[in-house]
A and B are shown apart, each in its own frame.
Chain A
Amino acid sequence: MYRIKHHPILGDLDDKKEDLVTIYVDGTPLPVRKGEMIAAALMAHGIRVFRKTIKHKNPRGIFCGIGRCTDCVMTVNGIPNVRTCVTPVEDGMRVETQEGSGKWGDSHG
């Protein structure tokens, strides 16, 4: 959705299978490109709400995109507050929309 597939300088992007890995977003498997940041992968799939804020439960997503503002944090593999804009995807990664401070995943229970 928000993926540039044809770029005048960088050329075309073809989704070769070997370039893809699978992450699970709130339980749903999504094919994403190896090496890209979690936030980029979610944007490519049209996902724009990454978390709900603590106080007012407002939706948040990418703001600064460079790991500074901490607006894009999600719970990744059971660890809350992971900055998705500077954390690369890994095959099998579990990414969850974070409500407030989130909760610890099972692997850490």
Chain B
Amino acid sequence: MTDREIFICRCEEVTLSEIEQAIDEGFVTVNDVKRRTRAGMGLCQGRTCGKRIAQIISKKTGIPLETLLSGTTRSPVRTEKMEIFKGEQDV
């Protein structure tokens, strides 16, 4: 295993080289890399890898890190079993 084959997104098993390839293809935001590679689409929803991917994009493209928007966050804040709505009143 070369160091470029390390996993950046552990949940979706996306490697550094796959992310760099996506950047080479012109996907240069966290959201775009996600839509290209699935990095950040897994169980933890990019909570582990999101910042790392922003760093990789910034390093490779020269886009300042602070101008790179983080990926879109949407509910749930943390994955939950769907039973959490059980007690809620029926619609």
Contacts and interface: CB of A to CB of B under 8 A. Distances in A.
Interface of A: 53-56, 58, 63-64, 68-71, 73, 81
Interface string B37-51: 000001110011000
B36 interface: no
Given A68-B44, A69-B48, A56 B13 contact: yes
B9 to A, nearest CB: 11
19 contacts: A53-B13, A54-B13, A56-B13, A63-B10, A64-B48, A68-B44, A68-B48, A69-B10, A69-B11, A69-B44, A69-B48, A70-B11, A70-B42, A70-B43, A70-B44, A70-B79, A71-B10, A73-B43, A81-B43
Contacts of A64: 48
A53 B11 CA distance: 9
A20 B44 CA distance: 33
A63 B9 CA distance: 13
Interface string B20-35: 0000000000000000
Contacts of B42: 70
A86 B12 CA distance: 21
Nearest to B42: A70
A107 to B, nearest CB: 16
Contacts of A56: 13
A70 B48 CA distance: 10
A24 B43 CA distance: 26
